[in-house]
Amino acid sequence: MMKYVNLLTIALGVLNLPLGTSAECSTSDPDPETGGTVLYLTSPDQLDALQDCTSITGHIVIESDYTGDFILNSVTEFLGNISGTGEGLASIELSELVELGSINVTSIGGDVSLPNLESAVDVVLKREVDAGGEVDLGSLGEVNNIRVTGSWTSINVDALKNVNQDAQFCGRPECDIMTEYDTGAVSIIVNLPELERTNRLEVAGMVESVSVPKLEIAGFQEPEVQSVQGLRINIQEGGPTLDFDAPKLHTLAGSLEVYGGVSGLSLGALGKADVGITLNARAPLDVYSTIQTSRHFYFWGELHSVYLPDLVDPGSIDLSYEPRLDCNETLVKLWKLIPSYSSDEHRCTDADLPDEEEEEDDDDDEDTVPRDEQTVDDQDTSNDQQSNTEDSTNNDDTSSAADSTNSDDSEHTGGNGAYSNLPSVGGVALMMVAIVSICFY
């Protein structure tokens, strides 16, 4: 590999920039496929020629037999890519780097320190070894794609505000779920205090907590590509469960997927959303959202409670959750969209609602009846008494039987709504007799 060092020296010589001088540097000869300049690293010694460079143009590929740290602390601008899969790679340190094309490195054994990096195209950092290592991207504000996977003890992305494509944070190297919970693994903490906008956010694997207090948009790509937009939460089951809360998320497109050990989902700013929703938790899940519309809403897996007060049109729906829940207005509304022959043991109807949640009418307009308000039977009794009194005053010759019949068949108001019943044939006849008696009288 010495030829690459010689090529680097030649490149610097062409620029009349002696080694050891702060300068703009190039890595090597043009790559035959990309046209870019490439330096293939097999040893940390090859980086010595770049230690005084402030700007580097070209690409660096870390070979599989590389062993040791990758350190370039004088570079502020790297116009190219850093990539590699070297299992012997320890730490990556570019303490002064501000601008970077892309970095895509797997099998990192130590820390990744890019504390001053402000912008990049792609950042892909993968840890495949045992738990450990810290990632410091504390100044990164915007990126096209960011993917940080593996058992990192710390991930600092405190300034990240905008992700143009995908943001993935996984407590497993492949964002997958293990068959059994690994008690020796480290669950990552995903703290995104400034994130406002991303086309897709995924958190998966061993995840202790997620914080997205300012996230407003998840899914904005035009034209819409449903498979790569929205939110995906896929948490390892068997250990601590995750509560996910996005209090300012008002725009959600593509899909919302919740799997595994998730115990809470709160989306309190959503309205109309062109999104397909699949909830398949393996922990008792509490769901709250102000969502109004969706393409589909699938409730699978475990469910503890669901409250969707503003839901108007969920699109296609499937209710296959466990166990049966106490009925509320949301569940009644959802079950009305399911054929009566389907999953009747979990079905909720108006009759299942508590007394204080009686339905106003048959058009799904539901009002809560105060405990101190008269019931339908109380008002019926009151109306009966009023009717008897009026009949007695206006028609002394009307029999008590007629009064009783008219009172039973009269219009009455129940709860906060009104409804009426038609009088019986006998009641009509008695009323006619009463009218004729009055006329002759």
Beta bridge partners of 426: none
Per-residue DSSP letter, 341 = T
- What does the pLDDT read at residue 415? 30
pLDDT band for 225, please (50, 70, 90 cuts): low
Angle at 389 (CA atoms; ends 384, 394), nearest 5 degrees: 125
Answer yes or no: is pLDDT of 410 > 50: no
- What does the pLDDT read at residue 341? 59
Average pLDDT, the chain: 79
Q: Which of 52-66, 282-296, 312-326, 395-409 has the lowest mean pLDDT?
A: 395-409
Calculated CA dihedral for residues 353, 357, 361, 364, nearest 10 degrees: -70
| Per-residue burial over 124-134, b = 16 or more CB atoms within 10 Å of its CB, e = otherwise | bbbbbeebebe
Integer distance in angstroms from the first to the last C-alpha of the chain? Answer: 125
The Cα–Cα gap between 106 and 86 comes to 7
The Cα–Cα gap between 203 and 187 comes to 11
User: Which of the given ranges, 31-35, 222-226, 257-261, 393-397, has the highest pLDDT on average?
Assistant: 257-261
Share of residues in the chain with pLDDT > 90 (%):
59
- What does the pLDDT read at residue 412? 29
- What does the pLDDT read at residue 96? 97
Residue 437, φ and ψ in degrees, nearest 5: -60, -40
- What does the pLDDT read at residue 176? 76
- What does the pLDDT read at residue 13? 39
CA distances from 323 to 284, 298, 336, 339, 407 (A): 9, 15, 19, 19, 46
pLDDT band for 302, please (50, 70, 90 cuts): very high
**pLDDT tens-digit readout, 124-163:** 999 987 778 999 999 999 999 999 999 899 999 999 999 9
- What does the pLDDT read at residue 355? 72
CA distances from 390 to 394, 396, 420 (A): 6, 10, 20
Angle between helices 400-409 and 425-440 (to 10 degrees): 130
Q: Which two tokens stand for residue 323?
A: 């166990």
Q: Which two tokens stand for residue 16?
A: 């009349």
Q: Which of 285-299, 382-396, 408-422 has the lowest mean pLDDT?
A: 408-422
Report which of 275, 269, 236 is spatially closest to residue 257, judged by C-alpha positions.
Answer: 275
Q: Which two tokens stand for residue 116?
A: 């001053």
pLDDT band for 105, please (50, 70, 90 cuts): very high
- What does the pLDDT read at residue 14? 37
- The two beta strands, 134-136 and 305-307, are unpaired
pLDDT band for 356, please (50, 70, 90 cuts): low
Q: Which two tokens stand for residue 164?
A: 């143009």
Between residues 192 and 179, which one has the greater pLDDT?
192
- The two beta strands, 296-302 and 275-281, are parallel
- What does the pLDDT read at residue 179? 63
Place of tokens 């809403």: 297
- What does the pLDDT read at residue 260? 94
Instruction: Say whether 334 sits in a helix, a strand or coil.
Output: helix
- What does the pLDDT read at residue 52? 93
pTM equals 0.75
Q: Which two tokens stand for residue 24?
A: 């703009």
**pLDDT tens-digit readout, 374-401:** 444 444 444 444 444 444 444 444 333 3
The Cα–Cα gap between 186 and 190 comes to 13
Identity at 419, one-letter amino acid code: Y
Residue pair 313/275 in contact (Cβ under 8 Å)? The answer is no
Share of residues in the chain with pLDDT > 70 (%):
72
Place of tokens 């008695």: 430
Calculated CA dihedral for residues 364, 367, 373, 376, nearest 10 degrees: 0
Angle at 247 (CA atoms; ends 242, 250), nearest 5 degrees: 120
The Cα–Cα gap between 157 and 118 comes to 11
Identity at 287, one-letter amino acid code: V
The Cα–Cα gap between 341 and 13 comes to 81
Q: Which of 35-49, 98-112, 181-195, 357-371 has the lowest mean pLDDT?
A: 357-371
- DSSP secondary structure letters along 256-321: EEEEESEEEEEETT--B--EEEEEEESS--EEEE---B-SEEEEEEE-SEEE-TT--B--EEEEEE
CA dihedral sign of residues 106, 112, 116, 118: positive
Place of tokens 């620029």: 15
